[in-house]
């Protein structure tokens, strides 16, 4: 290990089980010397195994509904109490589509489901940033990262309204990132990760076929959850102090490919 986060303090949203990118990031942050608070919605904490991760990393868990300003305010205040000061890094790894869960197509959604998914997956990021900003909770040169997917830029039909949510999430990172950088020297970025077999990813229709396609299309192959965690750690570190307002593709090169020899072989 490199002690990249030695002495740094953070909050990690969204770890559910050992398949989660947030879970892997927490493990890596601990290995690199960071202290942090783990948080998720109460229902997700009951469903998942967050207590195992907390014990492994010596972390405390604070339940919070990321769509609730009151919960987020309590989370940030309590985290600063536990950690003994301001925050150096935050990971937003939250996403959910009720339409996907309920099998509703993009052309025939339930708009109440759409609103709920948008609030959880994207508006929660704005709310989180807003609470951190107003409470001046971040240290200078801190780093805030949210996880996204390139369906925000290109059409993946079965990704459904999550594509819209990710596009909004990326826009929030740029817009709020400007104010955070100007006023507090804090950087805000999104990481656009390869399709990854997390609990949420596996809920997308046709996921197994698409992950196989992406593997053949990407010259370096798909990035794993652990590799995404490594990249996230680099974004939390002081080695990336001037990187902000960016959507950073971490996908083995998939985002710049038109076609690959491995894919063409299926049509020749």
Residue range 75-88, pLDDT digits in tens = 999 999 999 999 99
Query: In CATH, what is the architecture of 9-264?
Result: 3-Layer(aba) Sandwich (3.40)
CA angle 235-241-243, nearest 5°? 70
The CA distance from 111 to 160, in Å, is: 13
pLDDT at 201 over 70: no
Task: Write the Ramachandran bin of 163: left for phi over 0, alpha for psi from -120 to 50, otherwise beta.
Answer: alpha
- Binding site listing: 14, 20-21, 94, 166
Q: What 3-state DSSP class applies to 223?
A: coil
Residue range 154-176, pLDDT digits in tens = 999 999 999 999 999 999 999 99
Residue range 120-147, pLDDT digits in tens = 999 999 999 999 999 999 999 999 999 9
pLDDT at 202: 59
pLDDT average, residue stretch 199-203 = 63
Residue range 80-127, pLDDT digits in tens = 999 999 999 999 999 999 999 999 999 999 999 999 999 999 999 999
Find the helix or strand (DSSP H, E) in which 154 lies: none
pLDDT at 128: 98
List 149, 168, 178, 184, catalytic entry: 149
User: In the annotation, is 111 catalytic?
Assistant: no
Quote the tokens at residue 26.
């927490």
The mean predicted confidence, pLDDT, of the chain is 96
pLDDT over 70 percentage in the chain: 97
pLDDT at 205 over 80: no
CB 93, CB 20: distance < 8 Å: yes
List 2, 111, 133, 159, catalytic entry: 159
Domain boundaries, the chain: 9-264
pLDDT at 1: 84
Residue range 212-241, pLDDT digits in tens = 999 999 999 999 999 999 999 999 999 999
Residue 203 pLDDT grade (very low, low, confident, very high; cuts 50, 70, 90): low
Residue 207 pLDDT grade (very low, low, confident, very high; cuts 50, 70, 90): confident
User: In the annotation, is 213 catalytic?
Assistant: no
Query: Global pTM?
Result: 0.96
Q: Which residue has the higher pLDDT, 48 or 30?
A: 30
């Amino acid at each position: 290990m490199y002690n990249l986060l030695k002495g740094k303090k953070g909050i990690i949203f969204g770890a559910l089980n050992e398949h989660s990118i947030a879970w892997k990031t927490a493990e890596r942050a601990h290995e690199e010397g960071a202290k942090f608070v783990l948080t998720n919605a109460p229902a997700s904490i009951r469903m998942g195994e967050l207590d195992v991760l907390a014990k492994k990393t010596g972390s405390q868990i604070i339940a919070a509904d990321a769509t609730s300003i009151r919960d987020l305010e309590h989370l940030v205040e309590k985290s600063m109490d536990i950690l003994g000061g301001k925050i150096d890094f935050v990971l937003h790894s939250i996403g959910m589509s009720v339409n996907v869960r309920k099998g509703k197509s993009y052309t025939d959604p339930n708009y109440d489901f759409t609103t709920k998914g948008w609030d959880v997956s994207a508006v929660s990021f704005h709310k989180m940033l807003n609470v951190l900003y107003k409470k001046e909770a971040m240290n200078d040169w801190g780093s805030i990262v949210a996880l996204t997917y390139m369906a925000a830029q290109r059409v993946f039909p079965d990704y459904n309204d999550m594509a819209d949510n990710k596009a909004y999430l990326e826009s929030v990172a740029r817009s709020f990132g400007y104010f955070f950088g100007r006023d507090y020297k804090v950087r805000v970025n999104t990481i656009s990760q390869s399709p990854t077999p997390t609990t949420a990813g596996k809920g997308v229709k046709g996921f197994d076929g698409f992950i196989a396609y992406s593997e053949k299309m990407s010259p370096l192959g798909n990035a794993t959850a652990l590799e995404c965690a490594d990249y996230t750690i680099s974004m939390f570190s002081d080695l990336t102090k001037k990187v902000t307002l960016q959507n950073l593709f971490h996908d083995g090169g998939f985002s710049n490919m038109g076609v690959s020899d491995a894919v063409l072989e299926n049509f020749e």
